[in-house]
A and B are shown apart, each in its own frame.
Chain A
Amino acid sequence: MNLLPRTTRRHFLRQSLAAGAACTLVPRHVLGANGQPPPSSTLGGALIGVGGRGPGTFSDLVKGFQTAGIRVQKLAECDVRWKDRADNKTRYTDFRRVLERKDIDVVAIATPPHWHALISIAAMQAGKDVLCEKPMTRFIAEGRAVVDAANRYGRIFQIGTYGRFGASQNPNHILTRKIMKSGLLKPCPAVVIKRGGLKVKEWSGLVNAPPQPIPPNLDWDLYCGPSPLRPYHPHRIGGTHRGYWDYEGGGLADMAQHALDPETWIWGLDDTAPVEATPNAPPAHHDAVGMWGWVELKYASGLTLVLDSAEWGDPWDTSKRRGVSLNDLPEAHRDTIRSAPDPEPLLNFAQAVLQRKPPGGHAEAAHRTATIFHLANIAIRVGRSLRFDPVREIVLGDDEANRLAYQPMRAPWHL
């Protein structure tokens, strides 16, 4: 089974606009349940992280609500980098000043990923609903903390990638999901391969960059935030931050949430994680993300998922690629699958906010998808096969790997 061409944001929005005409509009007073503000057709919005994808992420958010007849007014935006661009009225450097505002209902987050979890959690603690850019997190423990915050405070979290929305409308994918969710296929013989498109060299870091003077208007300490306060170099900000473990996890972390978002839905993996990860890569650098060949991940069901960079070493054997069908089941079980109801349509972020129900890319699903590439990166970094417990979310018998899954944060930032 080959991975799908991913649903682009533009395509997703077109689909959402069409679907919106048929959706039920729920009045504003359901926001946060009893005693909420009176019905209104306007929500207060904020964008945290204005560079790169930021404006596009906020635009996605606005268009989603427009479909439902709700206007989102941008009341604040925040750039955690530049001190001289803040007026602390509508433009901020410190995201905490944005989140303490009571007139803001929904927040789009498009900072570098080392801030995603902490700002998402802080936003939900402050009662906001969150649309967060991918990748969701920098390491595994962050994802569980985001899930806990969404559940604890009853807030909506949607990851900013939408491949599963298109995939969930494809009859073949619906059938695959029903087969997988039935639990009748034991063991699952599927082999899913993502080969190429993971921008490994493109999003690698520099290994010999000398420190540069910190620009006087850059809040380098706040930019680094929970990550180590390293000497400044311009390659560590502005998109190329992806090449450093302190801020992201290279092209694998940057692209795999896109690539895997539809797959985790199709294969029914939103509530579990791989149990094994085996890497093929040269020794990793301690600071700069570098090259790797492939990582083979296995699920308890038997499903094999392969991430192959196609940029280093021998490729994984793509002839082993395999899907599943009703023919893999005895006849009696086929009828069970045929008679099973189709999955509920996925809600987009705006629909989820208005209906107070989980969106298609909810926190648990996004976290489980992120866990795949975090495990792959950990396996690359420790250079050995890992065994993972998807319930306790720990690597079994490997302290070093767990120290990469659960990383200390620089004070005062903590999960």
Chain B
Amino acid sequence: MPSSTPAIAKLVSQLPDTDADLDATQKAQPDKLGRPSKFTGPDPNKAEALFAEALAGGTTSLAELIRLIRPPGHPDFKSFKAEYFLHGLAVHAARPGREPARALLVNTLAAQLANPQLPNPVRAFLARELQFVGDATAAAALGRLLADDTLCDPAAAALVAIRDGAAAQFLAAWPSAHGRRRLVIIQSLAALRDPTGLPTLRQALADPHPDVRHTAAWGLAQLASPAAIPDLLKAADAADPFERIQSTHACMLLAERLAGAGNTSAATRIYTHLRNTRTHPKEHYLRDAAQKAMDRLGASATS
């Protein structure tokens, strides 16, 4: 395990051991320590006091805590406690009314994402903690991980959860993205429903990879873009069975979003197309769904 300030290591060590380690200790069986195990957790009040003490040590203490973390299976792994401690501390700092503590933690986590001495699984863990407590101040640090094949997914999830400032990070990463990272970026832009992602999503609708195309179609539907209607209707008439199902769903979603935004004529155009083209008996449920939606639109238009 890396060296650390005694204070942080001591705080971490005060957390209870796993059930298996407690059992082995009571039975004086040191050869059975460290077995994979469940655990029961500390007294909440004692844990809160430990977290508060660690936070009082500022950035230095938090960075030291992060340096103690090693994932199970890593040659330096000794205990789950440091990882558990950091997550508990994040929950503690995120309580309403503790904004300075939270800002301190978020800034430290974001800075440590760039620490090359940390194994990637630890950096992924830090990104997941930012998914929980992060804010716009961490967006740029997370955005830099979008270029890393192994960290792109947790960084993207954190950015989507944070939302503020996230779209710009995905758009900046898009031109140089390859393989799975393209899919992750398109999915994230779609989930964010940020209008600045519209041109990129339209571009991705012609992507050679079907997952990217389906995800882009879903994103265009989320954004309620009338300009996407021709592309989505064309995709929905695909012969490939699952692509047809997915793209038809994107059309239904787009029509709902358009109707919700007051553009009933564009919504009706989509519903009419689906009603008229779903003639196979096994697709009549779609015809019925489109007709019912049009009936609702008509009812709302006349009411």
Contacts and interface: CB of A to CB of B under 8 A. Distances in A.
A341 interface: no
B91 interface: yes
A411 B215 contact: yes
B153 A410 contact: yes
Interface stretch (B55-63, B129-137, B226-234, B259-267): B129-137
Given A285-B84, A408-B161, A382 B289 contact: no
Contacts of A210: 36, 72-73, 77
B72 A408 contact: no
Contact of A207 (B80, B180, B288): B80
B242 A100 contact: yes
B281 interface: yes
A231 B38 CA distance: 18
B34 interface: yes
Contacts of B139: none
A209 interface: yes
A283 B44 contact: yes
Interface in B243-273: 245-246, 248-249, 252, 256
A246 to B, nearest CB: 11
A385 B211 CA distance: 40
Given A411-B184, A411-B187, A285 B156 contact: no
A373 to B, nearest CB: 19
Contacts of B44: 281-283, 383
A400 interface: yes
Contacts of A206: 36-38
The winner among B125, B129, B154, B249 for most chain A CB atoms within 10 A is B249
B83 A286 contact: yes
Contact of A410 (B40, B91, B95, B157): B157
Interface string B209-246: 00110110010000000000000000000000110011
Contact of A211 (B73, B160, B285): B73
B117 to A, nearest CB: 20
B32 interface: no
Given A102-B282, A125-B245, A153-B289, A283 B47 contact: yes
A302 interface: no
Interface in A73-98: 96-97
23 contacts: A125-B245, A155-B285, A206-B37, A206-B38, A208-B79, A210-B73, A211-B71, A211-B73, A228-B153, A283-B42, A283-B91, A284-B91, A285-B87, A383-B92, A400-B94, A403-B161, A408-B157, A408-B161, A408-B191, A411-B156, A411-B184, A411-B187, A411-B211
Contacts of A404: 132
Contacts of B94: 382, 399-400
Interface string A287-316: 010110000000000000000000010000
A282 B51 CA distance: 13
B88 to A, nearest CB: 4
Interface bin, chain B: 35 or more
A370 to B, nearest CB: 21
A205 interface: yes
Please report whether the interface of chain B is mostly helix, strand, loop or mixed according to DSSP. Answer: helix
Interface stretch (A5-13, A28-36, A62-70, A358-366): A28-36
Contact of B34 (A154, A208, A282, A400): A208
Contacts of A235: 36
A381 B131 CA distance: 14
A153 B72 contact: no
Nearest 8 interchain pairs by C-beta:
A282-B41, A100-B241, A210-B73, A411-B187, A209-B36, A283-B88, A412-B211, A286-B87
Interface in A399-415: 399-400, 403-404, 407-412, 414
Nearest to B128: A286
B295 interface: no
Contacts of B283: 127
B43 interface: yes
Given A100-B241, A228-B154, A229-B153, A412 B72 contact: no
A225 to B, nearest CB: 13
Contacts, number: 179
A126 interface: yes
Contacts of B125: 286
Contact of B289 (A152, A399, A400): A152
A398 interface: yes
B38 A35 contact: no
A408 B284 contact: no
B108 interface: no
B101 to A, nearest CB: 13
A208 B96 contact: no
Interface bin, chain A: 35 or more
Nearest to B187: A411
Nearest to A208: B80
Interface in A23-56: 32-37
Nearest to B16: A282
B215 A414 contact: yes
Contacts of B157: 228, 408, 410
B39 A207 contact: yes
A235 B214 CA distance: 33
Interface in A377-394: 381-384
Interface string B147-176: 000000110110011000000000000000
B129 A286 contact: yes
B198 interface: no
A204 interface: yes
Contacts of B87: 283-286
Interface string A88-123: 000000001101111000000000000000000010
A397 interface: yes
Interface string B187-219: 110110000000000000000000110110010
A150 B246 CA distance: 15
A321 interface: no
Given A211-B73, A414-B191, 15 more contacts: A99-B242, A100-B242, A208-B79, A209-B36, A210-B77, A243-B38, A282-B41, A283-B44, A283-B91, A290-B39, A383-B95, A397-B96, A408-B191, A411-B183, A414-B218
Contacts of B256: 152
Contacts of A400: 91, 94, 132-133
A71 interface: no
B286 interface: yes
Contact of A282 (B43, B71, B77, B211): B43
A312 B39 contact: no
Nearest to B40: A291
